[in-house]
């Protein structure tokens, strides 16, 4: 006698066979709950690259905002840490409660971990931190790796959000550039106040049918 | 009226061993045991061997002379234990009052309110046990002894409604008399129980002694007696001592797959699912290895469970060869889970478990999980706990989050700092060499000062040509602790 979960899985398979995949479409936008990201429109089932060039804290501010917002909604999130550099003490336990943190030591390991998580399909969002990986290591990654990840994310309707220091992911459906403008003295004020000084710029948006639109619209 | 059922597995030791050698199906097989003096003889035979006129008590050489193709097996205590557990677990389906009467013999006290249907017994016991490699007979009668006698002549189920009619044609040996008594009865020309019961009771007992009384009682069908109740083991297990040592993954997986199929078939018959799985390996050097698997969503899907074992063993190495394998499953009742209206369940809990196992194998188990903050002011005070996809959410903190989060260098990067009026002015490190444009600090923190592990440090935020960094001063040394990314 199958268990309830097995029955649900069997029923899903039956429905997919009869009516096609009924999971969220890869065209959908994933609502993160972070105003800036939602305005840019994070695609579900694709790679979003967020380039944080100036080292002022904009990247981690976005990551923390994302984790906080997802924790509010009880969403599961995987953080693939390219250089084992996440500082959990800067976050609250509530935000970390459903976070799967994978602590990698190289870009190659990171890609393998992302591959597994993108295939898994149980995490609606996978955040990949590559900000501290040396550029030479990242440039050695074959371009096909990103294409494969893109296909996997599309299949499992996972939103892959990759934080980098320079444009890296050629097949990203959305490339954003994050900027922050707060003086050193303002590093220790309330985070809500800091977020107001954050800007996200859409560098490139690629539609699913392959059309590419290069925009330079300031989101905030 | 009380009734008893006896589950009897003829040639139990041979059957228990043959279950683990399916390739011998259809061949003549004999179970060999070593007797005192180091000599071995045939202890049990399968029907094919009997057809070849091999007999119990022969030496293997004599048996091979009668049947050239006969295969010899030696008894395996582990296999026998597994087979006995299976019998007990299946017997428990009929009634909780069960007795492990002997190896391969289980007596069950039948609930008086339950009707006995031959079809039901066949479907509930005989067929499932046959699929697990155990050919059993079932006898049902008013006393345990009569039920045992019935089971020995059952094909595969036999009821005894009228004990007298059933017992009369049976040979006297069925009453298990001593050698001496059996010889005496033979000299009297008594061959069947009917002939024995025709003798005058009192006079016969006077001549043959007190043993005859017991024999007479048995000839009358025995008496109802309280059973020595046993509880079947909590775990469903399969084990095997290997004749040929295992050194590669493939044969081990082959064996485990077979074990899993048997365990899940047993669980299916009992309407249970696997809650936990335990893999045990014994190595040639005597060292054991055990690994527990918690099943995220209890199941008896052999493919899923096998994938879990496969993933683990893919990354497992040992210095010695495997000489014994054991797999046990802790059964649980299937869980009916109801999620909250707005709660999102996992798409596939088993896939997640598989992914976590693969991530653990790729990065190491201590590098995958959920960070749990510790109650300490020590920098980087946290530990990883295994990921729980359904962890309860915590209430929001009343203190709003403060400050820009940063990324930590692990390990911290050693630096040389040139001070100007006690404040960092220039920085040399493997990562960056730059003048310090702006700085904030120092923040002095200390902890555990009451113990031997006391610590203290001074922290600065600095702005350089390359970005903003967190700088730490510990003792006389400086470190780049992290970066504002």
pTM of the entire structure? 0.62
Chunked into runs of 10 residues, chain B (485 residues) has average pLDDT values of: 88 89 86 84 90 90 90 87 88 86 90 74 83 88 90 88 87 87 89 87 84 84 85 81 85 90 84 88 89 84 88 85 90 68 68 87 89 85 88 79 85 90 89 88 85 86 87 90 88
Which residue on chain A is closest to B466 by alpha carbon?
A: A55
B413 vs B415: CA distance, rounded Å = 6
For residue B293, give the nearest of B311, B266, B272, B317 by alpha carbon: B311
The band of A81, judged by pLDDT with boundaries at 50, 70 and 90, is very high
Distance (Å, whole) CA B138 – CA B316: 45
CA distance to partner chain B, nearest, from residue A62 (Å): 10
Query: Alpha helices, DSSP H only, in B270-366?
Result: 302-314, 349-363
CA angle B94, B100, B102 (to 5 degrees): 130
Instruction: Give the β-pairing of A159-164 and A46-52.
Output: parallel
Q: Would you place residue A104 in the very low, low, confident or very high pLDDT band (cuts 50, 70, 90)? A: very high
Query: How many CB atoms sit inside 10 A of residue A171's CB?
Result: 16
- Any domain includes A8: no
Does A124 map to a domain? yes
Q: Is A11 a domain residue?
A: no
* Cα angle B386, B391, B396; round to 5: 120
The answer, for B375 touching chain A at a CB cutoff of 8 Å, is no
In B374-432, at which residue ranges do the beta strands (DSSP E only) sit?
Answer: 382-385, 407-420, 423-429
Q: Measured between CB atoms, does B422 come within 8 Å of chain A?
A: no
Confidence of residue A215 (pLDDT cuts 50, 70, 90): very low
Q: What is the pLDDT of residue A216?
A: 45
* Per-residue model confidence (pLDDT) at position B301: 86
The yes-or-no verdict on residue A25 having pLDDT over 60 is: no
SS3 content of chain B, % helix, strand, coil (to 5): 30, 35, 35
Predicted confidence band of residue A210 (pLDDT cuts 50, 70, 90):
low
Structure confidence at residue B336 (pLDDT): 61
The pLDDT assigned to A217 comes to 42
Closest CA to B48 of B18, B75, B81, B87: B18
**CB spacing of B297 vs A87 below 8 angstroms:** no
> What token pair was written down for B13?
């030791």
| pLDDT tens digits along B363-417 | 888 899 999 988 888 888 889 999 988 888 888 777 777 778 889 998 999 999 9
| Residue A153 belongs to some domain of the structure | yes
- Per the CB < 8 Å rule, is A182 touching B344? no
* pLDDT score, position A209: 57
The domain of A213 spans 27-219
E strand map for B116-163? 137-141, 157-159
Nearest to B370 among A72, A96, A182 (CB): A96
Distance CA B94, CA B74 (A): 33
Q: DSSP letters along A60-109, please?
A: HHHHHHHHHHHHHTT--EEEEETTS---GGGS-HHHHTTEEEEE-SSHHH
- Residue B331 and residue B300 in contact, taking contact as beta carbons nearer than 8 Å: no
Helix, strand or coil for residue B176?
Answer: coil
Is there a contact between A5 and B372 if contact means CB atoms under 8 Å apart?
no
The pLDDT of residue A220 is above 80? no
Domain membership of residue A20 (yes or no) is: no
pLDDT computed for residue A103 by the predictor: 94
ipTM exceeding 0.95, yes/no: no
Number of domains in chain A: 1
Domain annotation covers residue A13: no
Dihedral over alpha carbons B83, B85, B87, B90 (to 10 degrees): -130
**For residue A145, is it within any domain?**
yes
Read off the pLDDT of each residue in A27-54 and give the average, rounded to a whole number.
85
Residue bearing the bigger pLDDT, A94 or B339? A94
Secondary structure element (H or E) that encloses residue B260, with its range: helix B249-269
pLDDT number for residue A47: 92
- Residue A213 in this model has a pLDDT that exceeds 70: no
CB within 8 Å: B359 and A113: yes
pLDDT band at A77 (very low <50, low <70, confident <90, very high): very high
Residues 6 or more apart in contact with residue A39 via CB below 8 angstroms: A200, A219, A220
Distances (CA, A) of A66 to A59, A125, B7, B347: 11, 10, 63, 22
Residue A159 domain flag = yes
On whether any CB of chain B is under 8 Å from the CB of A171, the answer is no
Give the C-alpha separation, B148 to B10, whole Å: 12
How far apart, in whole angstroms, are the C-alpha atoms of residue B41 and residue B33?
6
CATH number for the domain spanning A176: value is 3.40.50.300
**Inter-chain residue contact B409 with A97, CB threshold 8 Å:** no
Bridge pairing between strands B157-159 and B273-283: unpaired
Question: If you average pLDDT over every residue of chain A, what do you get?
Answer: 83
- CB proximity under 8 Å: B 286-315 to A: 297-299, 301
Helices B249-269 + B302-314 axis angle, to 10: 150
- Give CA–CA dist A100/A76, Å, rounded: 8
Of B481, B484, B478, B379, the residue nearest B422 (C-alpha)? B478
The minimum CA-CA distance between B482 and chain A, rounded to whole Å, is 8
């Amino acid at each position: 006698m199958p268990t309830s979960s097995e029955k649900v899985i069997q029923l899903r398979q039956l429905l997919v066979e009869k009516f096609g995949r009924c999971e969220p479409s890869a065209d959908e936008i994933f609502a993160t709950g972070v105003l800036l990201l939602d305005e840019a429109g994070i695609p579900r089932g694709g790679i979003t690259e967020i380039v944080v060039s100036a080292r002022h804290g904009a990247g981690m501010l976005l990551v923390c905002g994302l984790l906080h917002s997802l924790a509010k909604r009880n969403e599961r999130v995987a953080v693939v840490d390219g250089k084992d550099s996440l500082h959990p003490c800067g976050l609250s336990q509530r935000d970390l409660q459903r976070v799967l943190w994978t602590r990698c030591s190289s870009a190659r390991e990171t890609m393998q971990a992302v591959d597994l998580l993108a295939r898994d399909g149980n995490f609606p969002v996978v955040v990949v931190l590559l900000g501290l990986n040396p550029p030479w290591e990242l440039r050695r990654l074959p371009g096909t790796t990103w294409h494969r990840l893109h296909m996997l994310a599309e299949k499992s309707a996972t939103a892959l959000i990759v934080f980098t220091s320079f444009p890296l992911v050629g097949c990203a459906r959305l490339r954003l550039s994050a900027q922050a403008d707060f003086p050193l003295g303002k590093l220790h004020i309330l985070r809500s106040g800091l977020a107001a000084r954050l800007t996200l710029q859409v560098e490139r948006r690629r539609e699913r049918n392959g059309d590419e639109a290069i925009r330079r619209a300031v989101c905030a | 009226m009380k009734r008893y059922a006896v589950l009897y597995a003829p040639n139990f030791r041979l059957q228990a061993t043959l279950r683990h050698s399916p390739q011998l199906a259809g061949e003549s097989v004999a179970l060999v045991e070593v007797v005192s003096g180091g000599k071995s003889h045939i202890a049990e035979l399968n029907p094919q061997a009997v057809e070849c006129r091999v007999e119990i008590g022969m030496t293997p050489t004599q048996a091979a002379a009668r049947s050239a193709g006969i295969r010899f097996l030696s008894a395996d205590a582990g296999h026998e234990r597994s087979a006995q557990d299976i019998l007990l677990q299946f017997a428990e389906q009929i009634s909780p009052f069960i007795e492990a009467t002997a190896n391969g013999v289980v007596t069950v006290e039948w609930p008086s309110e339950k009707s006995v249907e031959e079809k039901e017994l066949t479907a509930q016991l005989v067929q499932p046990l046959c699929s697990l490699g155990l050919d059993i007979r079932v006898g049902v009668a008013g006393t345990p002894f009569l039920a045992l006698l019935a089971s020995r002549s059952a094909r595969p189920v036999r009821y005894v409604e009228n004990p007298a009619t059933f017992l009369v044609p049976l040979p006297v040996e069925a009453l298990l008399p001593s050698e001496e008594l059996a010889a005496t009865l033979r000299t009297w020309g008594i061959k069947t129980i009917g002939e024995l019961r025709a003798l005058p009771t009192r006079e016969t007992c006077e001549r043959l002694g007190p043993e005859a009384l017991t024999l007479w009682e048995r000839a009358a069908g025995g008496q109802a007696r309280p059973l020595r109740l046993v509880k079947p083991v909590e775990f469903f297990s399969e084990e095997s001592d290997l004749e040929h040592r295992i050194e590669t993954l493939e044969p081990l997986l082959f064996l485990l797959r077979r074990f899993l199929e048997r365990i899940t078939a047993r669980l299916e018959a009992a309407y249970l699912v696997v809650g936990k799985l335990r893999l045990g390996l014994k190595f040639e050097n005597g060292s054991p290895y055990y690994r527990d698997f918690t099943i995220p969503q209890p199941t008896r899907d052999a493919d899923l469970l096998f994938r879990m074992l496969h993933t683990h063993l893919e990354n497992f190495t040992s210095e010695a060869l495997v000489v014994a394998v054991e797999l046990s499953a802790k059964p649980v009742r299937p869980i009916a889970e109801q999620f909250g209206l707005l709660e999102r369940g996992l798409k596939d809990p088993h896939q997640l478990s598989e992914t976590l196992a693969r991530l653990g194998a790729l990065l190491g188990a201590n590098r995958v999980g959920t960070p749990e903050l510790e109650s300490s002011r020590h920098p980087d005070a946290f530990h990883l706990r295994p990921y729980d996809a359904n962890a309860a959410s915590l209430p929001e903190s009343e203190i709003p989050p403060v400050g820009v989060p940063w990324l930590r260098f692990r390990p911290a990067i050693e630096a040389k700092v040139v001070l100007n009026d006690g404040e960092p002015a220039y920085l040399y490190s493997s990562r960056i060499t730059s003048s310090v444009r702006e700085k904030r600090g120092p923040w002095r923190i200390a902890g555990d000062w009451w113990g031997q592990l006391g610590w203290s440090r001074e922290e600065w935020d600095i702005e350089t040509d390359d970005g903003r960094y967190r700088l730490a001063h510990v003792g006389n040394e400086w470190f780049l602790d992290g970066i504002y990314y």
